[in-house]
């Protein structure tokens, strides 16, 4: 299937590892030029160099904290200077949490709100007018199954991801008249270095291997009995970026190995 993405420009937050990196490589394989953002500039630049070696596309690395207005302005300015705007925005940067509602201070709620919601709000304001001028575009939000089916240990993650899904719906309604399609994706368990790090920490000094710990997480939650590889999630993002997904507007797509316990 020709995805008709050659020479489009995509901005990906959190593009240095995990799902964001897999989306970056998936889009690059389709001939999409990239602006990648993450805070760790060394890792980001190494990733950008590898993608440039592997695929005939232009890639810029923009180290920035996307949870701040200044970080968003930095990214938008770099995109404008290099590409004169963007056709695709992937709001992917995010991270899990662990707290109780009664103990977490206001500052913690605010920090996740800035990262999971305000980054997407500010990036829409910064990039959507340019997309409209280019004849349309695509904005995708990487939320989580936890936006609907919460995990008990991370209430702030659950709440802010749910807000991101509603933001995605509202933005879709506001922008479809400009030819900009907005959708959200809710992944389930995805094998990333972060999951492996956590599993290693939790099993250090116990009789359980980190691999066995993660297999139990998969067995307990996902009927498919395993984590997804990031590439399995990225393929859905790449398709949703394509004009071949032209009727996909304002929806939320679950990709969770059967974990969602309802229809």
Residues engaged in binding ligand NDP (CB under 6 A): 13-14, 16-20, 37-40, 43, 65-67, 92-95, 115, 142, 144, 187, 189-190, 192-195
| Distance of closest approach, residue 226 Cβ to ligand NDP, in angstroms | 12
Return the axis-axis angle of helices 18-29 and 230-241, rounded to nearest 10°: 50
| Distance of closest approach, residue 138 Cβ to ligand NDP, in angstroms | 17
| Distance of closest approach, residue 237 Cβ to ligand NDP, in angstroms | 10
Comparing CB distances to ligand NDP, the nearer of 136 and 215 is 215
Q: Decide if 213 is catalytic.
A: no
Q: What is the DSSP letter of 228?
A: B
| Distance of closest approach, residue 25 Cβ to ligand NDP, in angstroms | 13
Comparing CB distances to ligand NDP, the nearer of 83 and 112 is 112
Comparing CB distances to ligand NDP, the nearer of 32 and 156 is 156
Q: Which residues contact 42 (CB under 8 A, 6 or more apart)?
A: none
Query: In angstroms, how far is the first alpha carbon of the chain from the final one?
Result: 29
9 has which bridge partners?
33
Q: Quick check: 128 and 178 in contact, CB under 8 A?
A: yes
Q: DSSP 3-state helix, strand, coil percentages of the chain (rounded to 5)? A: 50, 15, 35
| Distance of closest approach, residue 145 Cβ to ligand NDP, in angstroms | 6
d(CA 69, CA 235): 30
Of 112, 157, 253, 254, the active-site residue reads: 157
Comparing CB distances to ligand NDP, the nearer of 65 and 235 is 65
Q: Measured in whole angstroms, how far is the alpha carbon of residue 195 from the centre of its chain?
A: 16
The beta strand positions in the chain, using DSSP E, are: 9-13, 33-38, 59-63, 88-91, 137-142, 180-187, 252-255
Comparing CB distances to ligand NDP, the nearer of 172 and 222 is 222
Tell me the catalytic residues.
Answer: 157
């Amino acid at each position: 299937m020709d995805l008709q993405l050659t020479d489009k420009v995509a901005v990906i937050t959190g593009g240095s590892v995990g799902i964001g990196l897999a989306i970056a490589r998936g889009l690059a394989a389709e001939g999409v030029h990239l602006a990648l953002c993450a805070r760790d500039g060394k890792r980001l630049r190494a990733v950008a160099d590898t993608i440039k070696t592997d695929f005939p596309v232009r890639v810029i690395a923009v180290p920035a904290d996307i949870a701040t207005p200044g970080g968003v302005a930095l990214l938008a300015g770099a995109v404008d200077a290099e590409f004169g705007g963007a056709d695709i925005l992937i709001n992917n940067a995010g991270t899990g949490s662990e707290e109780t509602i009664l103990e977490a201070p206001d500052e913690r709620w605010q920090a996740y709100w800035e990262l999971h919601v305000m980054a997407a709000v500010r990036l829409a304001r910064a990039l959507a007018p340019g997309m409209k001028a280019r004849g349309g575009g695509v904005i995708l939000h990487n939320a989580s199954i936890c936006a609907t089916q919460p995990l008990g240990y991370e209430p702030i993650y659950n709440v802010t991801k749910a807000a991101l899904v509603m933001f995605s719906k509202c933005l879709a309604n506001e922008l479809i008249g400009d030819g900009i399609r907005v959708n959200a994706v809710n992944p389930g368990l995805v094998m990333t270095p972060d999951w492996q790090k956590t599993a290693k920490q939790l099993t250090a000094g116990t009789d359980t291997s980190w691999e066995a710990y993660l297999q139990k997480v998969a067995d307990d939650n996902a009927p498919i009995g395993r984590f997804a590889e990031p590439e399995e999630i990225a393929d859905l993002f790449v398709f949703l970026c394509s004009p071949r997904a032209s009727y996909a507007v304002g929806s939320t797509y679950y990709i969770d190995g059967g974990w969602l316990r309802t229809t």
